[in-house]
A and B are shown apart, each in its own frame.
Chain A
Amino acid sequence: MNGDTVDIDLARAWVQAIAAAVDEHKDHLTQLDSAIGDADHGVNMQRGFSAVTTAVADMEPDTVGAVLTKAGTTLISRVGGASGPLFGGTLRAIGTTLDAPTATPGEFATALAAGLDSVRKLGAAAPGDKTMIDAYAPALAAFRHQADTGADFAASALAAADAAEEGMRATTPMQARKGRASYLGTRSIGHQDPGATSTALIFRALAETAAR
């Protein structure tokens, strides 16, 4: 990786960095989920990404997408709940579009957009529903804006991570309209969404990996 492209090693380092971040934050994720869900998000994500680490270490991918598709498939087959299909489906969708050994920031933005499409369709959710989309959509917009204006990959990823965290924080005052938190009605207000929090971790892991 030379700052202008994503390569296979970076993709692999990214998913390993996500695994490390999820491991570090699993109690926090579970605590957030305990407030408005059913208290298993941290342990589920940890179980999934721990399997991802092994899966991507054992493969010899020939495209950037192969790493991410493998990570997504592993999540779907290991996580369960809503997180498995939503996070796994998103990584798979990102991976499917990156069918070369390297990708430019512009190509990566297109892949991220495919990931957002996937999660929006699968979860039938929109921005403002207090879900992972509230972190993902601004992250994609920030990444694309940077990439379109000629920024390199690291700068684009950094902007995406910052935007994801802002989006994550913005879920706190929202009332949940999807998932288990929706049953709380107005009582879901005042709690940060665990799915948006995991999404922010994923984009922060991308920024940190790209900056190495």
Chain B
Amino acid sequence: MKKFVNAPETVLRDALAGIAAAHPDLTVDAENGVITRAGGTRTGKVALISGGGSGHEPLHGGFVGPGMLDAACPGEVFTSPVPGQMLCAAQSVDSGAGVVFIVKNYTGDVLNFRMAAELAVEEGIVVDTVLVDDDVAVRDSASTAGRRGTGATVFVEKIAGALAERGADLAAVAAMGRRVNASSRSFAVALTACTTPASGRPGFDLPEDEMEVGVGIHGEPGRRRDKLGSAKEVAAMAVDAILGDRPLAAGDETIVMINGLGGTPLIELYVVFHEVAAALADRGVVIARSLVGNYVTSLDMAGVSVTVCKAESDVLSLWDAPVNTPALRWGA
């Protein structure tokens, strides 16, 4: 394993120190494992809190700031944070208007956030939870832990975050988060496994001429292994899977994210975007807004995920609203 680390055990702590040093707009409480906006929460503003395992940067700490999250709770690498972290985050950022937990549907995240919600309620904090489960690679929820939460997390955090910034109440902010999630679908393909600092070995072996189709954000598979396809074939597969699950009509407006899983160069992401755009255009689907880059990564995995969100004009307006975070910044 070749990685820029000091020791596998100190990766998270060292990274948090780096985040603190690099971003004076953020407050990093390394002791409690909580990243917040330096300015605190405006009285009456609903606070958005998300979190999950580390290794998916910039998710979630990179999305803390005006227009998006109020706090992020990073867990150990690929391990959800613990309830105490989320409770501490809720206590730090609740201004009295309540907090929304944005939780990706992974067993560990769900269980820990559920415990945290119970603890927060005992402390008199009003909590609503938005579960993100956009990954169409996982279909049969009867025999699995259910559809995973992946790329749509960025859309939920941005759009619900903008609504909270406008002063909407807890129920409205949470409802918007659920609506964005329900309107979003993702699909990912990996060319290599990633290597966690703790294990030091790639999570799985993938021959040079094969790809893992339908991976989650830790490389865990959802569908099958295929012979490596061209960008056009991968894009067609993703668009077919996404629209096969949630059909879109000609003229529908969407936000599309082509997301790198950490080890894929931007030039390849643009190649994929071109092909996804063409496949959507064939069906008359309109890409109203787009995002291309590394937003929900899986350490050093070579791979790409495609997320499509059907977006009405109010959602697009919230997407366009100012945001000022380390990883997403416009209009501010």
List the interface of chain A (C-beta within 8 A of B): 30, 34, 37-40, 43-44, 47, 76-86, 122-123, 175, 177-180, 182-185, 187
Number of interface residues of B (CB under 8 A): 34
Decide yes or no whether B149 CB sits under 8 A from chain A: no
> What is the bound-complex CA distance between A42 and B60, given in angstroms?
25
Selected contact of A180 from candidates B75, B77, B107, B112, CB within 8 Å: B107
Please report the number of residue pairs spanning A and B whose Cβ atoms sit closer than 8 angstroms. 104
Decide yes or no whether B136 CB sits under 8 A from chain A: no
The interface residues of chain A lying within 8 Å CB-to-CB of B138 are 183
List the interface of chain B (C-beta within 8 A of A): 53, 75-84, 106-108, 111-112, 115, 137-138, 143-145, 148, 196, 198-199, 201, 203, 216, 218-222
B196 touches A182 (CB 8 A): no
B82 touches A183 (CB 8 A): no
> What is the bound-complex CA distance between A40 and B83, given in angstroms?
18
B75 touches A81 (CB 8 A): yes
A77 touches B82 (CB 8 A): yes
B112 touches A85 (CB 8 A): yes
The interface residues of chain B lying within 8 Å CB-to-CB of A78 are 82
CB of B107 to closest CB in A, whole Å = 4
B143 touches A38 (CB 8 A): no
> What is the bound-complex CA distance between A83 and B218, given in angstroms?
17
A30 touches B198 (CB 8 A): yes
The interface residues of chain B lying within 8 Å CB-to-CB of A80 are 53, 75-76, 79-82, 108, 112
5 of the cross-chain contacts (CB-CB < 8 Å) are: A30-B199, A80-B108, A82-B80, A82-B111, A180-B106
A178 touches B145 (CB 8 A): yes
B220 touches A184 (CB 8 A): yes
A40 touches B201 (CB 8 A): no
B221 touches A184 (CB 8 A): yes
CB of A90 to closest CB in B, whole Å = 12
A183 touches B76 (CB 8 A): no
